[in-house]
């Protein structure tokens, strides 16, 4: 069984405040990308045979172990993980891998397991990846409302700087908090190809930790991309291109200085190949 684990960007991320549990209340729009990691999974009599970095600490391994434990070890699984997303870049790579493992194991070994709470226990971004597409999220990222967006050409760039999410959140100060995102106005601007009225509250902390990120953002803007924003806790940025040709030109200008890729975001029709053609739907839905 092959599955694509798409990356994500946050089409706006507002931190509303700090919660008693130490996490932050957020309001964000998740949008899945048309490219990501690739996982190959096959049933084996027992145990978890995993090929990928970090071994048992890998989120894909941890998702397999969590599901099989809850399902009463009906069998085992072999997982081969092909990473295409940069790590620690704010593109949700590990979280997406974990979600695809949960969906695949539910198809391989159906059981009365609440995937959603299992996903949340693995990480705040994991529940979104059970849905994919585009969704408004509140809470720590688990209260999801699916949204519809036409597939938009998007450019993603990561300079290679690893920004660990907990460190960025630890840098958050009270003046980084902001109001709720204007969701309808953002969706309208995106549909019209105008500059969306969104922001990412984590840019402040990230830029305080790594001021050089401001220059990366300026470079993407200078290429004519709209809505240039840090994705999640970074260090990747994304920007919206006028069309495919513009996206290709921007990637050409960026590719010598880091991870540069274009694709489509939005659309609730699952993953697309980066050239815009649809990938075969991954078995087991979603």
Ligand X SMILES: C[C@](O)(CO)[C@H](O)COP(=O)(O)OP(=O)(O)OC[C@H]1O[C@@H](n2ccc(N)nc2=O)[C@H](O)[C@@H]1O
Ligand Y SMILES: Nc1ncnc2c1ncn2[C@@H]1O[C@H](COP(=O)(O)OP(=O)(O)OP(=O)(O)O)[C@@H](O)[C@H]1O
- Find all residues with CB under 8 Å of 142, minimum gap 6, and list them: 116, 120, 124, 127
Query: Are 5 and 100 contacting, i.e. CB atoms less than 8 angstroms apart?
Result: yes
Among 5, 9, 14, 24, binds ligand X (CB under 6 A): 24
Task: Look up 125 and say whether it is catalytic.
Answer: yes
Alpha-carbon span 216 to 222, nearest angstrom:
10
Residues that bind ligand Y (CB under 6 A): 54, 58-60, 87-95, 97, 125, 165, 232-233
Residue closer to ligand X, measured from CB, 140 or 273: 140
Considering CB distances under 5 to 8 angstroms, the limit depending on partner class, which of ligand Y, ligand X, none binds residue 87? ligand Y
In whole angstroms, the minimum distance from the beta carbon of 200 to ligand X comes to: 9
In whole angstroms, the minimum distance from the beta carbon of 114 to ligand X comes to: 18
Considering CB distances under 5 to 8 angstroms, the limit depending on partner class, which of ligand X, ligand Y, none binds residue 100? none
Q: 96 among the known binding-site residues? A: yes
Token representation of residue 181: 């995102």
Q: 87 among the known binding-site residues? A: yes
Query: Are 269 and 183 contacting, i.e. CB atoms less than 8 angstroms apart?
Result: no
**Residue 169 touches ligand X, criterion: CB under 6 A:** yes
Q: In Å, what is the CA distance from 227 to each residue of 151, 188, 221, 230, 260?
A: 15, 13, 8, 10, 17
Considering CB distances under 5 to 8 angstroms, the limit depending on partner class, which of ligand X, ligand Y, none binds residue 89? ligand Y
Query: Are 197 and 182 contacting, i.e. CB atoms less than 8 angstroms apart?
Result: yes
Nearest Cα residue to 29 out of 43, 12, 44:
12
Count of all residues that appear for the chain in the document = 286
Among 140, 144, 191, 279, binds ligand X (CB under 6 A): 140
Alpha-carbon span 216 to 155, nearest angstrom:
13
Task: Look up 243 and say whether it is catalytic.
Answer: no
In whole angstroms, the minimum distance from the beta carbon of 110 to ligand X comes to: 26
- List the catalytic residue out of 21, 97, 125, 173: 125
**On the CB side of 183, how many CA atoms lie within 13 Å of its CA?**
15
Residue closer to ligand Y, measured from CB, 12 or 246: 12
Active-site positions read 8, 125
Annotated binding site: 86-96
């Amino acid at each position: 069984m092959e599955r694509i684990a798409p990356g994500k960007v946050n089409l706006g991320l507002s931190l509303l405040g700090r919660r008693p549990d130490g996490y932050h209340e957020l309001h964000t729009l998740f949008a899945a990308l048309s490219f990501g990691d690739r996982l190959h999974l096959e049933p084996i009599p027992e145990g978890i045979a995993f090929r990928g970095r970090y071994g048992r600490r890998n989120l894909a391994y941890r998702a397999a172990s969590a599901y099989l434990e809850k399902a009463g070890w009906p069998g085992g699984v072999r997982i081969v993980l092909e990473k295409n997303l940069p790590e620690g870049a704010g593109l949700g790579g590990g979280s997406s891998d974990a979600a695809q493992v949960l969906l695949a194991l539910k198809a391989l070994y159906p059981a009365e397991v609440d995937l959603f709470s299992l996903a949340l226990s693995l990480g705040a971004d994991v529940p979104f990846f059970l849905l994919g597409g585009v969704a408004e999220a509140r809470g720590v990222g688990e209260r999801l409302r699916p949204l519809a967006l036409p597939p938009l050409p998007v450019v993603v760039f990561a300079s290679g700087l690893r920004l660990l999410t907990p460190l960025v959140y630890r840098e958050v100060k009270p003046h980084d908090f902001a109001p709720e995102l204007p969701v309808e106005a953002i969706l309208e601007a995106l549909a019209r190809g105008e500059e969306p009225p969104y922001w990412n509250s984590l840019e402040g902390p990230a830029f305080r930790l790594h001021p050089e990120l401001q220059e990366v953002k300026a470079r993407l803007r200078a290429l004519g991309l709209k809505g240039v924003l840090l994705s999640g806790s970074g260090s990747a940025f994304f920007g919206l291109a006028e069309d495919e040709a513009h996206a290709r030109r921007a990637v050409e200008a960026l590719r010598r200085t880091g991870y540069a890729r274009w694709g489509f975001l939005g659309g609730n029709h699952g993953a697309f190949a980066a050239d815009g053609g649809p990938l075969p739907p991954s078995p087991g839905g979603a």
